[in-house]
Amino acid sequence: MTMKKHCRIILFFIIKCQLSIFNCSAQYPKDFFRSPLDIPLFLSGNFGELRSNHFHSGLDLKTQGVENMPVYAPADGYVSRIKIQAGGYGKALYVTHLNGYTTVYGHLNNFKENIATYLKEQQYKKESFEIELLPDSNLFRVRKGDVIAYSGNTGSSGGPHLHFEIRDSKTENVYNPLFFGFEVKDKTPPAITSLAVYNFDENTRKGPQNRKLYPVTKAEGKYVVNGGKPLVASGITGFGLEVYDQLDGADNKNGAYSIELLKDSSRIYYHKIDEMQFHLTRFINSHIDYEEKVLNKNAIQKSFVEPGNQLKIYETKISAGKTEIETGNKYKFNYIVKDVAGNISKLEFKIEGTVKSEMVMNESLAAKAFYFDSVNKFTSNDIELLMPDFALYRDIDFSYSVKPKTKQTYSAIHNIHKNTEPLQREYMLSIKPDSIPETINDKLLIVSFNSNNNPVSEGGKFENGTVTTKTKSFGSFAVMADTTKPKITPVNITRDGDLSAAKTIKVKISDNLSGIAFYRGSIDGRWVLMEYDSKNSLLTYTFDKSMSKGKHYFDLIVTDGKQNSGKYEAHFHR
């Protein structure tokens, strides 16, 4: 075979896979990796399930409610990365294998002894708990079945489990680990819980004009909407579905693998989640009905693709998925939902084309057209907004209004469009504060207000009379100042206390607005490793054997994002 012909065949296969027409799971090695745990596998989270601002990038393996389960190398390889964070994956380990894949372990408690020793040395050298290390390929070689780490609940984990990923070592694209032959029992089909029907005007670049939600119920093994009676719609119509998947032996509501929609037996929408790219994962906010998520916490997956959505999970062409419903006509629709084990659930429903009702246009104040593929700007007396192209997923009628300042704020409250419209990229926002005492200029920041109307820092800096920040959300914004130092609350240490039997020193730290930016704990004037668990606002120092008996001096400095510093110091006995 000539080189050219050979390439063409390979190219053809790649194109086929990218179009997602065929299931390409056949390309994954099925018996290369052993399980990273020595217990039967049950999942509290699966690949691709819907999370806040991302699709879940791996499997969450249950660890029987306990920590410190040994984690085994699933194949030969070497430790290529060690990353320690207060949030996120917490303590994480990456192992690169010889077949082009890298496996990732998150929320760990600890590492194999030689890795743990090396890590601690590096943390002391850098005087930082948070660290990222990229060891040389011959430093920590592992063999299939070696214990490499111990499971835990570190970082932003909500209970003991092992987060397990399989990535392409070069591109870092993540794949569904269940394609690699791990044994997870699943005879349970996905569940369908609600159907959304959307109506659009002629402009296909904009979002729907309205949405109706219908609960989906199960009767005699079949999913039914509206008691089996037809629903009505007219004009350009789109649909959405709320689903979840359960696996055998666990209550957790995980994600479904694929959703397909047929109109009178022809496919008008299809997506499946085989792999994910980290730079695209935030497009989940276009994939789901973001407004419904913000308002009612429902995760409806839309069965139409918005023009600015760049996810590669769709077979459907951009803007497809929407369909024309003609007055007086009847249509039969079928949803087919699958999990990765091949279990199927179906929902059949009928639509009757009704007479198009007059649209009520709700004109908002100062509406201005924003185009998703253009740079967008907005200026008024006290604010300036500059948004890069492709920050939006669709065109919007941008709205702006202003409310008077409150006692808390140093500016009016600016309502910048709606917090129900998602954004992919940051935009620049400047707000002019009222006359303020010059002494607090460097304490100013921009806040948004959460659903309880509490201020949340969006960061920012005062310069040339305005405070400027970058943000990825719309909503209400104002200028505030953070002049309060972080709070430090000792848990088990007291001034001149006896810690001779204690294994650790624990201290709680928190900040009211700008957040913890820096902390430094030391004993007898030397930096010591204090592990930071941000979800519990907890700093922990673990005594090591080198600490001599007698009197010692502990001190801790904590600084927030606006350079307000708190200090705690105590002598203790050991």
Rule CB under 5 A: which residues touch Zn ion?
60, 163
Q: For 189-211, give the DSSP string.
A: PPEEEEEEEEEE-S-TTB--SEE
| CB of 83 or CB of 163, closer to Zn ion | 163
What is the C-alpha separation between 108 and 247, in angstroms, rounded?
24
What is the C-alpha separation between 503 and 542, in angstroms, rounded?
6
- Min dist CB 273 to Zn ion, Å, is 15
Report residue 388 CA to chain centroid gap: 22
- Min dist CB 564 to Zn ion, Å, is 34
Question: Nearest residue to Zn ion, using CB?
Answer: 163
| CB of 60 or CB of 275, closer to Zn ion | 60
- Min dist CB 57 to Zn ion, Å, is 7
- Min dist CB 69 to Zn ion, Å, is 15
| CB of 60 or CB of 482, closer to Zn ion | 60
| CB of 105 or CB of 223, closer to Zn ion | 105
Q: Determine contact, residues 275/174, Cβ cutoff 8 Å.
A: yes
Percentages of the chain per state (helix, strand, coil), in multiples of 5: 10, 45, 45
Dihedral sign, CA of 147, 152, 156, 162? positive
Map tokens 């407004």 to a residue: 291
| CB of 112 or CB of 163, closer to Zn ion | 163
- Min dist CB 106 to Zn ion, Å, is 6
Those residues whose C-beta lies under 8 Å from the C-beta of residue 258, and which sit 6 or more positions away, are 270, 271, 272, 273, 336, 337, 338
- Min dist CB 149 to Zn ion, Å, is 15
- Min dist CB 187 to Zn ion, Å, is 24
| CB of 163 or CB of 338, closer to Zn ion | 163
User: Which H, E and C letters describe 231-274, residue by residue?
Assistant: EEECEEEEEEEEEEECCCCCCCCECCCEEEEEECCEEEEEEECC
- Min dist CB 377 to Zn ion, Å, is 39
What is the C-alpha separation between 339 and 362, in angstroms, rounded?
41
Bridging pattern class, strands 551-560 and 538-542: unpaired
- Min dist CB 179 to Zn ion, Å, is 17
| CB of 50 or CB of 431, closer to Zn ion | 50
Integer angstrom CA distances of residue 536 from 12, 72, 529, 532: 51, 28, 17, 9
| CB of 163 or CB of 417, closer to Zn ion | 163
| CB of 88 or CB of 459, closer to Zn ion | 88
What is the C-alpha separation between 7 and 149, in angstroms, rounded?
42
Those residues whose C-beta lies under 8 Å from the C-beta of residue 347, and which sit 6 or more positions away, are 192, 195, 216, 223, 224, 225, 241, 334, 335, 337
